[in-house]
Structure 1
Amino acid sequence: MTPRRTVVRHAPGKLFVAGEYAVVDPGNPAILVAVDRHITVTVSAPEPGAGAGSGGPAVLISTDLGARSVPWRWHDGRLVGCGADDDGHTRAGLAHVVSAIETVGRLLTERQLSIPTLGVSVSSRLHDGGRKYGLGSSGAVTVASVDAVASYCGLELSADERYRLAMLATARIDPKASGGDLAASTWGGWIAYQAPDRSFVLDLARRVGVDRTIGAPWPGHEVRRLPAPDGLALQVGWTGEPVSTAALVSDLHKKTWRGTASHHRFVETTGGFVRAAASALESGDGQGLLVQIRAAKRELARLDDEVGLGIFTPKLTRLCDAAEAVGGAAKPSGAGGGDCGIALLDAEAAHDISHVRQRWATAGVLPLPIRPALEGIEE
């Protein structure tokens, strides 16, 4: 058999600009920006005999975040670890890659195409010494894995198909995940995003299959590109305190706050300033955008006060204070509780930007050399 070509895909990470927490519910808007830190997934034929099992074509997964390659075999359309020393920690660490491969595998099966033996290698610039920055590594690795595996198997996907397969793969692991990170990794740049009804999508896939599901209407879902902010520079600070977005969102779902008048107010208010922020971006109104980002910060603070999630840590509060002191706007990005905060500052005020970054460093916040990624997934 002629060896297949090697396929490489680079998917950018993301930052939430506005709309966190509300975006989890279908149809609620958020704004995200892709960033120039990437996950790289390489798919090729594994070494002969590596990870081969009796249950069908083998998959061998390796990552620079793990110490060894992990062999898998197919069983009833799912991947099962081959190694005798396979454990739950290993499986959990590869869950998004495995789910991406399984989802593409199901599509291939539905189209009566064979699934070749796969060697899948993952490397990340969204981590530091094994610690995540909070830049959407799970979403980026899912999108990159979907596209690299599909291409290796002879499927060329549109951007929409790539996102939808990644959303199916993600929802199987965490039905509460909004998928905003998947959209940012897929389309790149600044985007307005609304999540689909994941329960509907998963149920549809169970009933009619993956192929028909990715071509069907998805209630609540919408994504569109936005222009970059006019006259403003995006600055990113990392608190050095990794946090699980899934855990914080899960904690919020457990609160009796959901369904209350306060919850409805949060969703309505958040939707209002996200739409206003998108309009400001589209009209080139930089000052108007700053107003809406400040509103987003206040609404997150109100949520934090009422529900007690710990969104604002001391470091994130200092990050915001430093930016606001020079006339900028800043807020936690994503679930908060650690990870990154963002600031939008006057792009022409180099002294102010330098001053803010110095104050961040003094407060224990690491200024990251990050820029928006204008494109999504790339070869």
Structure 2
Amino acid sequence: MKVKASAPGKLMLFGEHAVVYGYPCIVTSIDSEINVEIEETQTLKIEAPGVKNLSFVNETLKIFCEKFKVSSNLLIKTSSDETLKYGLGSSSAVTVALIKALCNFYKIDISKREVFDLGYKVILNVQGVGSGFDIASSVYGGTIYYIKGGQIIESLLVKKLSLIVGYSGVKADTSKIVKSLKPDFKIFDKIGKIVEEAKISLVNSDWKKTGELMNQNHKLLQELGVSTEKLDKMCEAAVVSGAYGAKLSGAGGGDCMIALVPENKIKNVESSIISVGGEIIKVKNNI
């Protein structure tokens, strides 16, 4: 018997870094997915060419099989959309997809909350730190307002966002950046207030206000020291060419930025991001 399951990646809209210290964030899922296929074998075999860190697969198996007292003698195959390699939540997506596949294979019925709790435990065991927002995004989908550890996971009724995603060309080490960041609670307080305002502006489809809040959030991330010259140039190019707002998305230090853009300005903004050395990543959001 073969079973399959999938889970989406994510884009952080507001609140990165502050979320690790108990402040809220807003995250949206994307149409880039990781797919997991499972079948029974005599010994454990993992074929995961697109998974950079197999620790997440191994830890998920360990936690799941111990909890539900089932065998790990399985052939596990993963496949993923190419775009997930750009720092868009592949570790959490493979964790959630594997939990879902294991539940399907062993006919174990658990709630989304239980999937989240298992996935969050995996992240903490592997990384040592983490807020769990990317696990929540992979489990619940759509756009969510989130507080660390799943204290709050609130789905927001947000229309699909006209977002452009730009890759800086530099791969970031999220865990390393989060661990090395010296917390600045004055900045985190400001970011927390921005998240609360963005929650309202997103639900109201007030894109101008949302863009302004993105710019403010990026400025605070610059002050934290997690942005880079390349990300700053890409964000500036986006805003100058007509975006409502732009910011880095995720841990910083590389990976991606996002820009909220009027439909009639998409080509202009994409060209501007490319002109400063960025690469446009085609993904759909709020999936």
| TM-score of the superposed pair, with normalisation by structure 1 | 0.72
Residue 9 of structure 1 is matched in structure 2 by 5
**Offset of residue 61 of structure 1:** 1.0
Give the CA deviation at 1:368.
1.1
1:97 is matched with which residue: 42, 57, 60? 57
Partner of 2:209: 288
Q: Distance in 2 between matches of 1:19 and 1:142?
A: 23
Shift of 1:65: 3.4
Which of 363, 367, 370 aligns to 2:276? It is: 363
Q: Using a 3 Å threshold, how does the CA distance of structure 1 residues 15 and 126 change in structure 2: closer, same or farther?
A: farther
Q: Do the aligned residues in 1 keep the contact of 2:243 with 2:269 (CA within 8 Å)? A: no
Residues of 2 paired with 1:334 and 1:295: CA distance?
A: 15
d(CA) in 2 for partners of 1:98, 1:59: 10
What is the SS of the residue equivalent to 1:287?
helix
Whole-angstrom distance in 1 between the partners of 2:157 and 2:276: 32
Deviation at 1:9, TM superposition (A): 1.0
Q: Is the 8 A contact 2:53 2:91 kept in 1?
A: no
Decide whether the 8 Å contact of 2:61 with 2:72 is kept in 1: no
Residues 25-44 of structure 1, C-alpha deviations (whole Å, 9 max, x = no match):
23x10011111111111111
**8 A Cα contact 1:108 1:115, kept in partner:** no
| Structure 1 position 340 matched with structure 2 position 242 | no
CA shift, 1:229, in A, is: 4.7
Structure 1 residues 216-365: aligned runs within 5 Å: 221-229=151-159, 233-252=162-181, 255=182, 258=183, 263-304=184-225, 311-325=226-240, 326-347=242-263, 349=264, 352-365=265-278
Q: Which runs of 5+ in 1 are unaligned?
A: 50-57, 67-91, 197-219, 305-310, 375-379
- Name whichever of 319-328 and 14-23 sits farther off: 319-328
Q: Is the 8 A contact 2:162 2:260 kept in 1?
A: yes
Q: Which residue of 1 aligns with 2:78?
A: 122
Distance 1:359 1:295 in 2: 21
Q: Does 1:160 align with 2:113?
A: yes
Instruction: Verify the 8 A CA contact 2:207 2:244 in the aligned structure 1.
Output: no
Q: Report if the CA contact (8 A) 2:32-2:83 is conserved.
A: no
Post-superposition Cα deviations, 1:258-282, rounded to whole Å, max 9, x if no partner, equal: 3xxxx22112111100011011122
Q: Is the 8 A contact 2:27 2:144 kept in 1?
A: yes
Match of residue 148 from structure 1:
101
Q: 1:160/1:359 Cα in 2 relative to 1: closer, same or farther (>3 Å)?
A: same
Tell me the residue number matched to 1:24: 20
Distance 1:103 1:63 in 2: 19
1:73 corresponds in structure 2 to none
Q: Mind listing any 5+ residue stretches in structure 2 that lack a counterpart?
A: none
**How many angstroms apart in 1 are the aligned matches of 2:72 and 2:214?**
48
Q: Which has the higher helix share?
A: 2
Report the residue type matching 1:101 in the other structure: L
Task: Determine the C-alpha separation between the residues in 1 that align with 2:286 and 2:187.
Answer: 30
Structure 1 position 191 matched with structure 2 position 141: no
* 1:17/1:33 contact within 8 Å kept: yes
Show CA shifts across 1:167-194 (max 9, x none): 1111111231111111111111111111
Paired with 2:164 and 2:72, the residues of 1 have a C-alpha distance of 43
Amino acid at match of 2:172: V
Query: What amino acid sits opposite 2:49 in the alignment?
Result: D
State the 1:126 CA deviation. 4.5
Say yes or no: does 1:34 pair with 2:38: no
Check the 8 A contact 1:229/1:286 in 2, yes or no: no
Percent identical among aligned pairs is 30
Q: Tell me the amino acid that sits aligned with residue 181 of structure 1.
A: D
Structure 1: distance between partners of 2:243 and 2:14 = 19
Q: Contact 2:48–2:79 at 8 Å: present in 1 too?
A: yes
Per-residue CA deviations over 1:108-127 (Å, capped at 9, x if unaligned) read 13xxxx42621111112155
Listed one character per residue, the Cα deviations across residues 197-224 of structure 1 (whole Å, up to 9, x for unaligned) are: xxxxxxxxxxxxxxxxxxxxxxx61111
Q: Over residues 296-348 of structure 1, what are the superposed CA-to-partner deviations in whole Å (9 max), with x where a residue is unaligned? A: 111111211xxxxxx2223211211122111420011011111110000112x
Shift in Å, 1:227: 2.5
